Structure formats: structure tokens, C-alpha cells
Amino acid sequence: MAREKKRIELEDVTVRFAGDSGDGMQLSGTLFSDTAALAGNDLFTFPDYPAEIRAPHNTIAGVSGFQVHLGKKQIFTSGDLADVLVAFNPAALKSNIKWTKLGGTIIVDADAFDEKAIEKAGYTSNPLKDKSLSDYNLIKAPIGTFTKESVAGLEIDIKSIGKSRNMFALGMLYFLFNRELKATEEYIEKKFKKSPVIVEANKRVLRAGFNYADTIEAISSTYLVPPAEMKKGKYRNITGNVATAWGFLAASERSGRELYLGSYPITPATEILQELTHYKEFSAKAFQAEDEIAGICSAIGASYTGSLAITTTSGPGLSLKSEAMGLAVMTELPIVIVDVQRSGPSTGVPTKSEQSDLLQALFGRNGECPLIVLAASTPANCFEYAYLACKLAMEHMTPVILLTDGYIANGAELWRIPKVSELPEIKPPLAKANDSNYKPYLRDEVKLNRQWALPGTEGLRHRVGGLEKENIYGNVCQEPMNHQLMCELRAEKVNRVANYIPDQQIIGEESGDLLVVSWGGTYGQVLTAVKEMQKQGKKVSLAHFNYISPLPKNTGQVLSKFKKIVVCELNLGQFIMYLRMMYPEYKYEQYNKIQGLPFMVSELTEKFKQLLEGK
């Protein structure tokens, strides 16, 4: 046993796992995160899947990554750069070194660095031997060899041994961060219940990694990330896509309307469809349509029939759904359209995140075609906004577009589990059987919504369709004045939703030198950056928008109280264009990034400093 190592306390730490697709990086990352959660840390994780399904072994294209950011403070992002990188092969090292802090720790499986693999990764010399990594604390662990040694005597095949290498690295990390092995051991026991020898092997390898880390000189100190102060309650780790799916299930239960999903698989939204195929016990009907158009059209049919109808997609699919969204606006039927945004235009960079569908969501339809647009801002609050999207759609009888993005859809964070009964009530405006006053386009005086009259109900037979309808009576009508009236009514109905959504919040003082404006999935990075500025005593506040159309009623007021406004978004300036249109009286600065990557907190604070210094 080596001498007692120094313990250093950290506020937060970012660990990145990278290896071949088959190396178990996602699992290692998840187990590491679960252990941190059990120890009371707040955390945010983000998987970095390769675009190819099974790219050749040891190539950059085949590298799969997983980043976890955990801390004793509240964590809002998956972390800018990693403090610790675990790289399972040369390709993983090569493609991830740029995401690692200078001076950070790199753990590599030295056994994976043979000549062929080094060459395949595109290195001209062995990075473990040349000086290229001298700015890092490099730990060259012969993981392959030790993994084999630790299972000596067990009857186990080579392939399974190779597969348990990730446990060795995990053991090392547990030592480095003073973690218990227990939760992971329990996971192994459960997962491989059917094969005691695999259980034994994995546990031995895990323990061997832990002990190995204790003995080596390269680890001279260990780290402690104390528990975060969080609201008491039951938590779970949840991705944005799963949270979205569950939000719909909750809205279905609470509203009493059966869930119908019509969707076509598309990255990065597919997981919502897959998730919802599992809950037939809640009568959730998830229909895999023949294309995007059938997805939304079937949802419109289901909505007419009385289901809580949803369709999910990503940018290119939203384009295909445009015409049908117009039909939903015209027929004034409630549907929720989820757009998990990805890099565009066209197929773009499908596995990377972006916020460039905003204008399409707001305006991408023929005719005057208003609908509600919401944007979720964290993996966990996808639940809340999915739920609210359903509530607003049904109560106001209108389509709602819910924008999320690849980053929050695949990212995961700790979520305090709510009780469904404590969520806001949902009261769909159902028409009553044989109501002699029923008229298809007779409207609620306050909200302007029409009633929802379901097929199968006596005395309410009526037709809807894409042709303009006569106000109140709903007959096909081409009267000029009626068309203008209907266009105005549809617009006003959506405008009035502003009376049912909360005021825009400001994080920080209500006036000051700089108002940072952002929306949707950039919340974590922008909030972290703004808090850093505030800590430094700067008069910077944040207005982060979730309600996009209509905007909260106090938006103008919020914008009016700052010397400067900067709008930060992952596109070339779409929300700023919208704000300039809605509130032309203010001057806006902009900060945009369009690389398929989230903002880095450091680049945001840099920009804010420049703006404060008058540059």
C-alpha cells in the first residue's frame, strides 16, 4: 500500500469517457454518475455518440464519448472542458484531447496504444512517448494486462475479459474521487445475475482498478466533491427525450384524454417515439407512421377523435409537416408538435445540436398561420414544458410547437420527481352530447377557443377541414369579410394565451448594465456564465425565455431596464430578429455560435466582459 494520499476538495469536476463504440463508455459514464448522485452531488451528463452506427474499430469515426459534470453546487451544464479524460484507445485520445483542460488528468489504457492503433488514429508518433502530452497529468495504465491478470483462474472467454476493461478504469476513478464501489457492484450483480462468473470477473476488475490507482505515483492526491445542497426529495436521472415522453403521459392521465403519438423515426427525436411504445398500460398509442406527413396527419385525425395527439420530429421533419400544421391551425384542433432541433439546413449535422428552427417554428407555414411556440431549457424541464404544451393545446384548441434540441434531449440531469396530482389541472373544452347550442366555430368569449366535439357523441355531428369556414357555423365560406375575421380570430386566440402564461423572470437585478437574453436549450451555459459575472459584482442579469409565441406580457418591460441587451443563441440570430420585430424600440447586441456545439461558459463570460467594457 502506498503512503496516504492528499485529499483535495473540489466545487465541481468534469469527467469525460471516450473509447470505441463497443468499449462501454456510456455505461461507465452512467455508473459513475449514479454513484455521484447517491453521494449527493448534483450533476449533468451528456453522451457524444458517433454519427456512424459501427464505424471501424480504433478509428476517430468510431469514438463514443460521455461527459459528466458533477458538483457540490447546482450544476446546469455538462461542463466546458474535462478535468479528467479517460481514453480507451489512441483515436479516443486524439479526438477528445481538445475537450480536456490544460493541466488536467488523462487516464489511458496504455495497452491499446500499439503501432497499428496509433496509426489508425492519425498520429505520426506515439503520443504516450513523445512530448505532446507534457502539459497534462498523464496516467499510462496497462488496463488490458491488469484486467486479464485480475480474472486469472476464472473460466471466462477473451471477449468478456475485453468487455470488462471499462470496470478497471471505473475503479481507478472511484479511488481518485473517494467513492464507494457498492452501487456499481450491486449493478453488476443485478445485470449479470444469470452468469456468476461474469459477476465475479467484473467485480474483481473494478476492485483491481481501485487498488491500482492507490499504488501508483502518478496519482499523488485524490479529490473530494462534497454533496450539493438540494431541495429534499426523491430524485432521478433523466434525459430530455424521456422527460418529454413522460410529460405527455402525465398530461394524458391528468386530462383524461388518451395519448396518441404519430411519428416517424428521426435523429435526435426517435427516442421519444420509442419510449412511448412501452406504455400501453396507460392506453398510450404510439404509431410509427410511414413518413413525417402521415405522423402529423394521423395525429390530426386522432385529435379530431378526442385523443391527446402528439407528433415528434427534428428540423427536416418539421419542414415536411408544415402543410399539415396549417390544417391543424385551420381546424383549430389541439396537437403538440415536438421539434428536437439539430444542425441544419437539410440533413446538416444530424447528431449535433442547434437552435436554428426557431423561425421555421414561428413562421414556416402558408397563410396567416399562428400557433403557440414553447421551448424547454433543460433535460428535466422537458417534462414540464411537454406537459404545459398539452395543457395549452387542449385548453386553447390550437397546435403547439415544443422546441427542444439534441443537447438537452440526450443530456441528462437530476430531476426531483413530481407528483402528477400536483401538476396544474388540464380542462379540455369538451362539447356536451345533444347540446342544441353547439356550433363548430362558436367560441369561448375569453379564450376564443372553439369546443371539442368528439365523433361518437350524439347530436354534435359536424365537419372540419382545410377550407376557410364561416365563423360560428363552420360551413365552407369564401366571403371576404369572414376570411379576414377568421384570420384575426385565430391570431387573437393565440395572442390571448399570453394571459395564461407566467411573467418573464429575470435572474438577477431588474435593471443594470447588461441584460443577457437567451432561450431554450442554452439555459445551463448562459445561467452559469451570468452567475459568474454576478459573483464578480457585475451588473448583469439574465432573461431566459421558454414562452416564445406568444411572448410573456412583461417582455417589453424586462428589456427596458438595461443599458445593453445581448441575445445569445446557437444560430445566426433568429430570436434577435423576432425581438427586433416585436420590440423595435430597443437596441440589441448579439452573440451567436453555430458549430453544432453548446456554448462554453468561458466564451460567454468573455463576450459579456467585452460588452461591459464598451467594446
Partner 1 sequence: MSDISETKTDLTKQDFVSDQMVKWCAGCGAHSILSSLENVFPKIGVKKEDYVVVSGIGCSSRFPYYMNTYGIHGIHGRAAAIATGVKISNPKLSVWVATGDGDSMAIGGNHFIHILRRNLDIKIIMFNNKIYGLTKGQYSPTTPFGSITKSSPQGTIEEPFNPGELVIGSQGTFFARAIDNNPKLMTELMFAAAKHKGTALIEVLENCVIFNDKVHAVVSPKENKEDVQLILKHGEPMIFGKNRDKGLILKGTKLVVATLGQNGCTEKDILVHDENEPDPGIHLMLARIAPPYYPIALGVIRAAKYPTYEDLLLQQISNAKETSKYKCVDDLLNSGNTFEI
- Closer to partner 1 by CB, 22 or 226: give it: 226
Contact 244, 286 (CB under 8 A): no
Minimal distance in Å, beta carbon 298 to partner 1? 3
Cβ nearer to partner 1, comparing 283 with 505: 283
Residue 457: CB minimum distance to partner 1, A = 6
Contact 379, 46 (CB under 8 A): no
Cβ closest to partner 1, residue 250 vs residue 394: 250
CB of 12 to partner 1, least distance (A): 17
Residue among 209 and 326 whose Cβ is closer to partner 1: 326
Residue in the block written with cell 438595461: 562
178 contacts: CB under 8 Å, gap ≥ 6: 7, 222, 223, 224
What DSSP state is assigned to residue 280? G
Q: Which is nearer to partner 1, 263 or 343 (CB)?
A: 263
Residues written for the chain: 615
Alpha helices in 364-412, H assignment, sequence order: 381-396, 406-410
Least distance to partner 1 from the beta carbon of 345, Å? 24
Q: How far is the CB of 316 from partner 1 (least distance, A)?
A: 16
Dihedral (Cα; 299, 552, 546, 429), 10-degree rounding:
-30
Closest distance of CB 291 from partner 1, Å: 6
Residue pair 6/220 in contact by the 8 Å Cβ criterion: yes
CB of 183 to partner 1, least distance (A): 9
Burial class (CB in 10 A: 0-12, 13-18, 19+), 405: buried
For the bound state, the minimum distance from the C-beta of residue 458 to partner 1, rounded and expressed in Å, comes to: 5
**CA gap 113, 524 in Å, rounded:** 36
- Max Cα–Cα distance, the chain, nearest Å: 90
Q: Which residues bind partner 1 (CB under 8 A)?
A: 34, 37-38, 40, 230-237, 246, 249-250, 253, 258, 260, 262, 279-283, 285, 287, 289-291, 293-294, 297-307, 309, 323-324, 326-327, 331, 414, 417-421, 454-467, 475-476
Q: CB nearer to partner 1: give 266 or 529.
A: 266
* R_g of the chain computed on alpha carbons: 27
Nearer to partner 1, 475 or 602 (CB): 475
β-bridge partners, 87: 18, 108
Specify the residue for cell string 473494478: 206
Strand-strand pairing, 512-519 and 562-569: parallel
**Between 229 and 492, whose beta carbon lies closer to partner 1?**
229
Residue for grid cell 386530462: 255
| Peptide linkage before 550 cis (omega within 30 of 0) | yes
Cβ burial, residue 430 (10 Å; 0-12/13-18/19+): middle
Residue 115 DSSP SS3: helix
Least distance CB 450 / partner 1 (angstroms): 15
Give the nearest distance from C-beta 465 to partner 1 in angstroms: 3
Between residues 116 and 232, which has the closer beta carbon with respect to partner 1? 232
CB nearer partner 1, residue 419 or residue 535:
419
Strand pairing of 259-263 and 221-224?
unpaired
